[in-house]
Structure 1
Amino acid sequence: MAISVDTLELSGSPITAISRPEAAMPPESPLSMPTQDLRRWSSSQERSLVAEHPGRTPVLARLFVFGGALLLTAYGAYEMYQVVSVSRTTVLQYVLLALFTINFSWIALAFTSGLLGFLVLLRRPRLPDRLPPSLKARTAIVMPVYNEQTARTFAALEAIRESVEATGLGEHFDYFILSDSTSPDAWVAEERAFQALRDRAGPQARIYYRHRHKNHHRKAGNIADFVSRWGGHYDHMLVLDADSLMEGSCIIHLAAAMEADPDAGIIQTLPLIINRNTLFARLQQFAARIYGPVIASGLSAWMGSDGNYWGHNAIIRTKAFAGHAGLPDLPGRPPLGGHILSHDFVEAALILRAGWKVYMLPNLGGSYEESPPSLIDLSARDRRWCQGNLQHLRVIGTRGLKLPSRQHFATGIMSYLASPFWLFQLIVGIALVLQTTYIRPEYFSRDFGLFPVWPRFDPERALALFALTMGILLAPKLFGLVLMLFDRQGRRACGGAIRLLASSIIEIILSALMAPILMLIQSGSVFQILLGRDTGWQPQRRDDGSIPFRDIVRRHRWHTVLGAFTGLSAFLIATSLFLWMSPTIVGLLLAIPLSWLSGQLAIGLALKRAGLLLTPEESTPPSVATRANELMSQNAELGFDDEDALLALYRDPDLREIHVAMLPSLPPRRRGDIETERALATARIADAETIQEAAAWLKPKERFLLLHDKALLDSTLRLRDGAAAQTQAAAE
């Protein structure tokens, strides 16, 4: 390993160190990444397209989707008005009408978009051609990580690299693990896993690793740091998530598509969910595989080249990203101010504003991700997404944005506001029934009128409208099911027609029961955010382990209480109200057992053995997933994720050398500036007699600072080994 001068003494052994070993990162090649102005923009700043793109704006598709949704919403609102206006309409009935119209417009848009996707897929779109014989551009494949298990992330990157190399075009790609980990143990485990992977792959593997001292702006800042420092080396970058997997053929097709279209800024794939086995994850897996292509094809058809970006499994033109995706902080404090959490939507919108194209290739196979293993895990991730999407309320008015970009923001915002709107609609509905049942109506108001005010409803129209609402709500699922039933190979891979139908019924029933639980969780998230509570950024749980039952009870006890109270109240008010609300009531009453069942691995595996909730990717696993699982098992045996960082550095001189060599250059500390963690760490180390005592006494933040400080680390690693001394004393 080539190392320049800078000698440091650790545990009596001199260590030669530099800011970075030659193999850890390539030389920097900076790209300017200016912060974008959300308030000022001129059309003169928009670039002109290089190539001609006939039919660039899919006018007919947008007219079909949005015009159809508008007509459906108008019809639904009219029918609802007829339901509540048997006589003169009260204020509460007008509120109910408004809430219903908002919610109905949301599902009407999903229906027309899904219908368009269904029509597109009926034509059986042409799959990508064979792999191109060559590529010209260089692409960086980057995987940002944050306190993840190295056994999994490094296995995924290694499997992806092997798959790309198998295409014969691997020389056009470099691979980067971009760490933002704040856990000392995770950080050192990453360094060990990186060294092990580099040793296996050889010196020409072009695999790199970088750890940031401060995870400024989190994932968006992590990517921006890479682009601004090393982006000049690469024409494109392919961004992964920590749970991403991609076949080499998919990556080659993306790179070829980007080379073929000089106006493309981002090309997004449709990631399918794989590799999960809990009940909840298998429900998500099945739904994404059966219904996902319908939704994605509809979106792709009406978005055209004014598409969106989901933050991973997409290829990005580095020059376009550097020039236009530098995100500003929003004014004010979190949760609605500060750095933008859902940065991917904003990056796509700003790149579109600058004249680049953003689109999706929904039929390009070989792109995968994983699902949260339980309902509680989903809600934890969803809380952060909720905050990020509500921040878009302050971004949607950005100057110069394309209308489709504003629509993408509105869709993301509404995906979370729909829950409190649904909750309010239920509350208003209950209030109206209460008014009708228990409050003596004032037939003639104080204002003169010829007709009395009857708070009445039309039950037959209400039933028909309910059936229409459920029909358009479930239609996208039906579209996906029909397409899979007509796909002979896919149908067999899902266990056959009978099992496929049974799986769809299971998915629909369980999703319907979980919907009111998620409605309350999302409503709570919205209220908390509007009240000023910041979510922070916690690492996701990606294993298949179940959650302790007491935690489930604690999380869902109020959902159950609310379900019992609502059910009893509805039954006492009117049997018809109880029946109307029964799906919501049952879902809330079963919140605790449903949440417990959702994280159960045994139940998911039992359904798998019975051939239920099967997907084609389970019947014939993708080769990259099979290889990643093998590598993950091998990595887990190394035990990097289970070892204490300080003890690992103490026992392995080679690891110490690697760690010190890869430390980033930090700005000099000003004299007189005393950091609390530094002072506490120094005092604990001075008081410790053995490395085991130091490891036990140091707090996580103190450890993290210690691992960045060469001098402090040196004094720590000079401590004696208490375990060795005890062993020697016992032997004597």
Structure 2
Amino acid sequence: MDSLTLAPDEPTLSATNPKDPAAAPPTPIEHRLSMPAQNLFKFDRRQQFRKPLAPQLWQTQWLARLVTFGGGLALTAYGGWQMYKVIDVGGVTTLKWALLALFVLNFSWIALSFASAVVGFAALLSKRPVPALPERLREKTAVVMPIYNEAPSRVFAALQTIYEDVQATGLGEHFDWFFLSDTTNPDVWVAEERAFIGIRRRLGPKARIYYRRREKNVGRKAGNIEDFVTRWGGAYAHMVVLDADSLMTGPTIVRLAAAMEADPDSGIIQTLPLIINRNTLFARVQQFAARIYGPVIAVGLSCWMGRDGNYWGHNAIIRTEAFAHHCGLPDLRGKPPFGGHILSHDFVEAALIRRAGYAVYMMPTLGGSYEESPPSLIDISIRDRRWCQGNLQHSRVLFARGLSWASRQHFLTGIFGYLTSPLWLMQLLVGIVIVFQASYFKPEYFTTEFALFPTFPRFDAERSLELFALTMSILLAPKFFGLLVAIYEPETRRGSGGVIMLLISTLFEIILSALLAPIMMLIQTGHVVHIVFGFDTGWDPQRRDDGSVPLIDIIRRHRSHVALGALSLVAGLLISPSLVAWMSPTIAGLILAIPISWLTSQRWLGLVFRRAGVLVTPEETTTPPIAKRGKALSKALARTDDDEINGVAAIHADPELRALHEAWLPNRKPRQRGAITSDRAVAEAKIADAETIEEAVSWLNRGERLVALSDRALIGMIARLPRKGEKSAEARAAE
């Protein structure tokens, strides 16, 4: 490691406090693993597929799959036949055939979800016991938290809280802890280092907590994890992957490690994260839905998936060596959005590790796994665009060689999850055109083809209402199943305010979701269109606070939705009043898009509903201790305002921070003469021209601060700048 560059007369850190835990190297000794990029379309099963070591654990869930896929197919066939009967009045025109095809595609999606929920509902009624806490573990596990321009007070508080809870199990010596930073904001970078120094000092020298920052976030989150695996993965049998908003209890993490040790064929074991700590009305609706309906859906998925499961990218444990050998992601041919780096890496990693013969499964009833959610409709649409691109990109991976049929089903589910919005919109438009044709165009009674009767664009109204009722019943049934399970479970029932409040909360969630659905339909349709036409989404950090969105941003985002809703209302009234009645939920949601988006983003309104007992979850009534501790610690760390301090000013003001910051910079080859970047040249010129640190801080923009804080020579120049009103280091030396 390079010798430290310190300002004159400053003592080195080791001289002031050689036992300071913060002075230890930020990362452990490297234990490298090779992680080659996989070939998606070349796979020799005879050589690359491992035989199971515990064949007794490989039981195919035939009954659950028969109910899910057989039931979904039967429902789709019945719904399609009924729709055919609806339109087969006076003959089936081309537009009617189009309407039928779109209906079948959309109906199949909700039919499959319904059948899966039936399986989950039946399984939840026969509760499975949570595994006992193990007395000992054999292997070493790394707990890794990738971070990217997050508020350090939040993420460091979260990891410390999880660490403390794992230590309380008595098995903490089996776990090491890593912050894997891809941060590009120079101020957040320095704040992370301050927070890292703080957490090491709080927890003492025995806490094996490490911090690594990559200078270039190649491969984004997947590349971040890959960098950890290739450098330190060889030291750990498993790794628990967290997200920046994750919380997991110590017993849950220990049980995951024990489950991995007990199952030698397991590759990934996924938990079901519940949403907590949300206060805006929009986020509270998501929180309630995830808590009440989520278990039914997740258990249903778990039952039919069995050991052919999926991975959601966080709150899961992974067998490190298997992941390294089989989950290296290739870049897809071509340019983004369909080419380049794979965005939704988790689905692909699950498919690849399963292709190699390892099991991927979920433990949905384990508990103790939490996350947060975007606070507003606008925030979720930003995240949704990235997910949309990643899922549509899976069309390039869908036919990879050697994948199990279940892995292909996961890809299809993700792709179709976004295609349903444009398909639904097309179904609405075709229906409107048919009604318009019937109202304004005289049918051609006798065409050139021989026919005894003319073709009228008519429908069977009675059968249409029956089919609508069936569709709504299938769509809402998973919510109803979740409500019944919540009422059946005493803790959930009491924690949600009792049966009456559960019914009121469910009704409110259904109404608000119905109003939000057409807005999300247009948002997701826009995402799909942008991606199909070649627009890349990028990767912006997610907003994780609970603050409100400015009204001007909401108006700008939803004005086109309001205009389309108003246009639909006017057109509907001109065509047929019954058409307006049929489309009223959709029209109302679009016309009210701005007030709905604004009101649901308000924290105060969410708190009003909470005080009234509406949308309350058991985790709010009896807050998990880990959530209480995490929130309190995050608030305590945020009071210091370290998240907001200018990085250059912080490095100048704190000699110990500066010494550690320089020591943790990567070693570089000496710069070749003449190889000067514009950012570095400008940063050096500004620092050299500044007479005080205040001038340098005000002159350096974000990119220049990043360059300056990455260069030991420039840091030395910064350290020698005096504060306003002080003499420079050279003047003091001359005296």
**TM-score under structure 1 length normalisation:** 0.96
Shift of 1:670: 4.1
> Aligned partners of 1:396 and 1:250: how far apart in 2?
33
- Partner of 2:733 in structure 1? none
667-676 vs 362-371, which moves further: 667-676
- Matching of residue 48 in structure 1 with residue 51 in structure 2: yes
Equivalent residue for 1:59, pick from 53, 57, 62: 62
- Partner of 1:109 in structure 2? 112
- Matching of residue 600 in structure 1 with residue 602 in structure 2: yes
> Aligned partners of 1:723 and 1:433: how far apart in 2?
79
Instruction: Please list the CA deviations of residues 226-284 of structure 1 after superposition, one character each: whole Å capped at 9, or x if unmatched.
Output: 00000011000000000000000100110000000000000000000001111011101
> Aligned partners of 2:236 and 2:262: how far apart in 1?
16
Instruction: Please list the CA deviations of residues 52-98 of structure 1 after superposition, one character each: whole Å capped at 9, or x if unmatched.
Output: 23552212211110111111101111111111111221111111111
C-alpha contact 2:6 2:659 (8 A) present in aligned 1: no
C-alpha contact 1:271 1:367 (8 A) present in aligned 2: yes
- Partner of 2:279 in structure 1? 277
- Matching of residue 204 in structure 1 with residue 206 in structure 2: yes
Q: Secondary structure at the match of 1:152?
A: helix
Equivalent residue for 1:466, pick from 464, 468, 473: 468
1:378-457 correspondence runs (5 A): 378-457=380-459
- Partner of 2:504 in structure 1? 502
Q: Secondary structure at the match of 2:55?
A: coil
- Partner of 1:685 in structure 2? 687
Counterpart residue identity of residue 522, structure 1? Q
Counterpart residue identity of residue 480, structure 1? G
Counterpart residue identity of residue 269, structure 1? T
Q: Secondary structure at the match of 2:50?
A: coil
Q: Given the superposition, is the C-alpha separation of residues 39 and 15 from structure 1 closer, same or farther in structure 2, using an over 3 Å criterion?
A: farther
Counterpart residue identity of residue 116, structure 1? V
Q: Given the superposition, is the C-alpha separation of residues 11 and 398 from structure 1 closer, same or farther in structure 2, using an over 3 Å criterion?
A: farther
Q: Given the superposition, is the C-alpha separation of residues 567 and 723 from structure 1 closer, same or farther in structure 2, using an over 3 Å criterion?
A: farther
- Partner of 1:27 in structure 2? 29
Shift of 1:367: 0.3
1:174-573 correspondence runs (5 A): 174-573=176-575
717-726 vs 280-289, which moves further: 717-726
> Aligned partners of 1:355 and 1:247: how far apart in 2?
30
Instruction: Please list the CA deviations of residues 509-561 of structure 1 after superposition, one character each: whole Å capped at 9, or x if unmatched.
Output: 00110010011000000000111111111111111110111111111011011
Q: Given the superposition, is the C-alpha separation of residues 724 and 557 from structure 1 closer, same or farther in structure 2, using an over 3 Å criterion?
A: farther
> Aligned partners of 2:622 and 2:695: how far apart in 1?
51
> Aligned partners of 2:2 and 2:328: how far apart in 1?
36
C-alpha contact 1:7 1:16 (8 A) present in aligned 2: no
Q: Which runs of 5+ in 2 are unaligned?
A: 15-21, 729-735
- Partner of 1:79 in structure 2? 82
Shift of 1:650: 0.3
Q: Given the superposition, is the C-alpha separation of residues 670 and 725 from structure 1 closer, same or farther in structure 2, using an over 3 Å criterion?
A: closer
- Partner of 2:153 in structure 1? 151
Shift of 1:671: 3.8
Shift of 1:288: 0.4
Q: Secondary structure at the match of 2:427?
A: helix
> Aligned partners of 1:16 and 1:614: how far apart in 2?
50
Q: Given the superposition, is the C-alpha separation of residues 511 and 216 from structure 1 closer, same or farther in structure 2, using an over 3 Å criterion?
A: same
Q: Secondary structure at the match of 1:664?
A: coil
Shift of 1:455: 1.2
Instruction: Please list the CA deviations of residues 628-649 of structure 1 after superposition, one character each: whole Å capped at 9, or x if unmatched.
Output: 0111111012221011100000
Counterpart residue identity of residue 522, structure 2? L
- Partner of 2:667 in structure 1? 665
Q: Secondary structure at the match of 2:5?
A: strand
C-alpha contact 1:5 1:16 (8 A) present in aligned 2: no
Q: Given the superposition, is the C-alpha separation of residues 174 and 713 from structure 1 closer, same or farther in structure 2, using an over 3 Å criterion?
A: same
C-alpha contact 1:445 1:453 (8 A) present in aligned 2: no
Shift of 1:724: 5.0
> Aligned partners of 2:533 and 2:84: how far apart in 1?
34
Shift of 1:287: 0.3
> Aligned partners of 1:530 and 1:664: how far apart in 2?
40
> Aligned partners of 2:657 and 2:263: how far apart in 1?
45
- Matching of residue 10 in structure 1 with residue 7 in structure 2: yes
C-alpha contact 2:516 2:589 (8 A) present in aligned 1: yes
C-alpha contact 1:12 1:718 (8 A) present in aligned 2: no
Shift of 1:21: 6.1
Shift of 1:667: 4.8
C-alpha contact 1:8 1:14 (8 A) present in aligned 2: no
Q: Secondary structure at the match of 1:266?
A: strand
Q: Given the superposition, is the C-alpha separation of residues 42 and 670 from structure 1 closer, same or farther in structure 2, using an over 3 Å criterion?
A: farther
Shift of 1:9: 3.8
Matched length: 720
C-alpha contact 1:280 1:375 (8 A) present in aligned 2: yes
546-555 vs 46-55, which moves further: 46-55
- Partner of 1:126 in structure 2? 129
Instruction: Please list the CA deviations of residues 155-202 of structure 1 after superposition, one character each: whole Å capped at 9, or x if unmatched.
Output: 000000000000000000011111000000110000000000000000
> Aligned partners of 2:671 and 2:430: how far apart in 1?
60
C-alpha contact 1:212 1:664 (8 A) present in aligned 2: no
Shift of 1:14: 7.0
Shift of 1:448: 3.2
- Partner of 1:623 in structure 2? 625
> Aligned partners of 1:218 and 1:707: how far apart in 2?
22
Shift of 1:688: 2.1
Q: Given the superposition, is the C-alpha separation of residues 70 and 669 from structure 1 closer, same or farther in structure 2, using an over 3 Å criterion?
A: farther
Instruction: Please list the CA deviations of residues 702-728 of structure 1 after superposition, one character each: whole Å capped at 9, or x if unmatched.
Output: 2112111111221233222126579xx
Shift of 1:616: 0.7
Q: Secondary structure at the match of 1:443?
A: coil
> Aligned partners of 2:368 and 2:284: how far apart in 1?
19
Counterpart residue identity of residue 220, structure 1? A
C-alpha contact 2:80 2:104 (8 A) present in aligned 1: yes
Q: Secondary structure at the match of 2:56?
A: coil
Instruction: Please list the CA deviations of residues 374-412 of structure 1 after superposition, one character each: whole Å capped at 9, or x if unmatched.
Output: 111111111111111111010111111111000000000
Q: Secondary structure at the match of 1:156?
A: helix
Q: Given the superposition, is the C-alpha separation of residues 395 and 380 from structure 1 closer, same or farther in structure 2, using an over 3 Å criterion?
A: same
> Aligned partners of 1:142 and 1:642: how far apart in 2?
25
> Aligned partners of 1:217 and 1:669: how far apart in 2?
26
Q: Secondary structure at the match of 1:638?
A: coil
> Aligned partners of 1:236 and 1:455: how far apart in 2?
62
Q: Secondary structure at the match of 1:371?
A: coil
Counterpart residue identity of residue 3, structure 2? D
> Aligned partners of 1:611 and 1:322: how far apart in 2?
48
> Aligned partners of 1:9 and 1:162: how far apart in 2?
35
**TM-score under structure 2 length normalisation:** 0.96
Shift of 1:123: 1.2
C-alpha contact 2:302 2:309 (8 A) present in aligned 1: yes
Equivalent residue for 2:709, pick from 700, 703, 707: 707
Instruction: Please list the CA deviations of residues 298-338 of structure 1 after superposition, one character each: whole Å capped at 9, or x if unmatched.
Output: 00000000000000000000011101111011111111111
> Aligned partners of 2:681 and 2:653: how far apart in 1?
25
- Partner of 1:730 in structure 2? none
- Partner of 2:731 in structure 1? none
Shift of 1:38: 0.8
Instruction: Please list the CA deviations of residues 431-486 of structure 1 after superposition, one character each: whole Å capped at 9, or x if unmatched.
Output: 11111101111122233333322111111111111111111000000000011111
